[in-house]
Amino acid sequence: MIEVDRLEKSYGFARALKGISFSVSKGEVIGFLGPNGAGKSTTMKILTGYLSPSGGSGSVNGLDVVKDSLAVRALIGYLPESTPLYTDMRVDDYLSFCAEIRGVPARDRKAALARAFRLCGLERVTGKNIVELSKGYKQRVGLAQAIVHEPPVLILDEPTSGLDPNQIVEVRKLIERLGEEHTVVLSTHYLQEVEKSCSRVIIVNHGEIVADGTQEQLLAKQPGGGLRVRVRGPEAAVLTQLKELLVDVPVEVVDRNDDGNDDGNDYRIAGDGDQAPMAEAIARTVINNGWDLLSLQRETPDLEDVFRKLTLSQAEAANV
């Protein structure tokens, strides 16, 4: 459905995209991740015809995004980071206008609007002026304008930016429903949205793709998360004993008891493979020293660990 081949974009001497390539199959929901300035929005703007590439090519359903720009736009529903709304219009009037300029035939417009209202949960506010709506409902209206013409492809750039936690959950559920009927490219900084909604993840950094695969594939490439142990005991002595026990294995304090509740400190021990013998040795050492062993568990990497490892330099990672 989407093909990107060695896509480049430069702004003067600054290279926003450095020849990235990827493809998206019909029905996939892709999480398009990266830190600020990585090239996510630039890629989306090129695919939607908003920007022209400096090199390479992109296509949607076999149509070139430059040569067949108008035809490509007809296939795409686009929600940019700044929601495109005419706030002085009523919700129903605005979406009717969007349906008209999107080429929805007059005979089909009523049904198209009803579908958009239903999917986006807008039935209660169709007669209100957009300016009166909450940020969450404005985002829903933005999503409704993206789907009113029933495009095969949805490109959503930070659809939950600026929303409160309840609104984020509502919009996330909506995106999950949309993913059942559309090919979706979702850019977001909220990794929970990607974990719950996306079948595949593409991570870009400094204009290059640094990872592409399912969550399971990306996590499988990560080393084990090590062990995390919470001990109630003198920090210096506990740390010394653990380091003497685990020679050449990094040990660090990751959560100190600074609130006076005497609920112990958390220590992280790096390691891969079978960690059961190490866990037994740690438990025995803590108990033999008369300290309280409050918890001992294996840490498993998650999508946030993958993201941080791939997008932070070693110096940055050490300071976080």
- pLDDT beyond 70 at 314: no
- pLDDT beyond 90 at 221: no
46-91 pLDDT per residue, tens:
999 999 999 999 999 999 999 999 999 999 999 998 888 999 999 9
Helix (H) / strand (E) containing 63: strand 63-64
Say which residue the tokens 């568990």 belong to.
297
**Residue 227: pLDDT band with limits 50, 70, 90:** confident
- pLDDT beyond 60 at 287: yes
- The rounded mean pLDDT for the chain is 88
- pLDDT beyond 50 at 319: no
**Residue 195: pLDDT band with limits 50, 70, 90:** confident
Domains of the chain: 2-215 (3.40.50.300), 227-300 (3.30.70)
Helix (H, G, I), strand (E, B) or coil at 156: strand
Lowest mean pLDDT among 234-238, 268-272, 280-284: 268-272
Distance CA 295, CA 264 (A): 10
208 vs 168: which has the higher pLDDT: 208
94-104 pLDDT per residue, tens:
999 999 999 99
Give residue 318's pLDDT: 42
Tell me which residue of 205, 275, 250 sits closest to 15, measured CA to CA: 205
Kindly state the average pLDDT of the residues 280-303.
89
108-137 pLDDT per residue, tens:
999 999 999 998 889 999 999 999 998 889
Task: Please answer whether residues 202 and 30 qualify as being in contact, where contact means their C-beta atoms are separated by less than 8 angstroms.
Answer: yes
Say which residue the tokens 């890629």 belong to.
43
Share of the chain above pLDDT 70, in %: 94
0.85 exceeded by the pTM? no
